[in-house]
């Protein structure tokens, strides 16, 4: 059964610093998602990664996928306070088209 693990689960960092959130998944997956969730809010889709070596960037966030290592990363460049949120990694199991499996989330707190 597909399991998705993120680390760290909590991250406090200074504005202007760089950091990376790691996402490992246990079995082959068709696609990998990154979502952002603000407190009390729903999930906002950030990136969808489909193939090995895929890299996508939006502003200060960059996501990558290594399907051989079953690893995705979300890199934050020169963090700003507005990026404070919880970030979820999620994947779809092979041969299933119904459910998305989420990690526990990384709660990111950026200090001004």
Partner 1 sequence: ETGVTQSPTHLIKTRGQQVTLRCSSQSGHNTVSWYQQALGQGPQFIFQYYREEENGRGNFPPRFSGLQFPNYSSELNVNALELDDSALYLCASSPTVGANTEAFFGQGTRLTVV
> Which of these, 45, 6, 19, 7, lies nearest to 111 by C-alpha position?
19
Q: How many CB atoms lie within 10 A of CB 62?
A: 16
39 binds partner 1 (CB under 8 A): no
> Which of these, 90, 6, 77, 7, lies nearest to 45 by C-alpha position?
90
Angle at 24 between CA 20 and CA 30, to 5 degrees: 115
Return the number of the residue (40 or 112) whose C-beta is nearest partner 1: 40
Candidates 18-26, 64-72, 76-84, 102-110; binding stretch for partner 1 (CB under 8 A) = 102-110
Residue 62 near residue 56, CB atoms below 8 Å: yes
Return the number of the residue (95 or 112) whose C-beta is nearest partner 1: 95
11 binds partner 1 (CB under 8 A): no
Return the number of the residue (55 or 94) whose C-beta is nearest partner 1: 94
- Binding positions for partner 1, rule: CB under 8 A: 4, 30-31, 40-45, 48, 88, 90, 92, 96-105
């Amino acid at each position: 059964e597909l399991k998705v693990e993120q680390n760290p689960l909590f991250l406090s960092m200074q504005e202007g610093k760089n950091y990376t959130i790691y996402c490992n998944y246990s079995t082959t997956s068709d696609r990998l998602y990154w979502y952002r969730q603000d407190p009390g809010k729903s999930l906002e889709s950030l990136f969808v990664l489909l193939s090995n070596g895929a890299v996508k960037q939006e502003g200060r966030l960059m996501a990558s996928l290594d399907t051989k290592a079953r690893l995705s990363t979300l890199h934050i460049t020169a963090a700003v306070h507005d990026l404070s949120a919880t970030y979820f990694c999620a994947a779809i199991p092979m041969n299933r088209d119904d459910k998305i499996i989420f990690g526990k989330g990384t709660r990111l707190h950026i200090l001004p």
